[in-house]
Amino acid sequence: MSIDIDVSLVEMFRELPVRSGLYTVGPLLLGVAEFVNGYVHQLQLVYPTLFAIVMVAFSVLVTQYHLVEFRIERLDGDHRTFE
């Protein structure tokens, strides 16, 4: 028997707000803060910009990973109810 469950990012934020915030919003805020820090201190914006890009990519990848992990947890939970 095949069980297919679609989960969304909003559902993950509702059930796991701390973990979702740390891994999704946290790196984005860190990248923005580093960019603003470089701008305020009149540094070359190349390095803060690269750091911000890397943090956005990190946030996307980690969010995808945790969304898959959340989906697997949902599948395991629903599978147990059918046994």
Domain range summary for the chain, segments of one domain joined by +: 9-75
pLDDT of residue 73: 86
Predicted TM-score (pTM) of the model is 0.77
The structure tokens listed for 22 are 């740390």
pLDDT of residue 1: 47
pLDDT of residue 74: 85
pLDDT of residue 3: 57
- Give the chain's residues under pLDDT 70: 1-5, 78-83
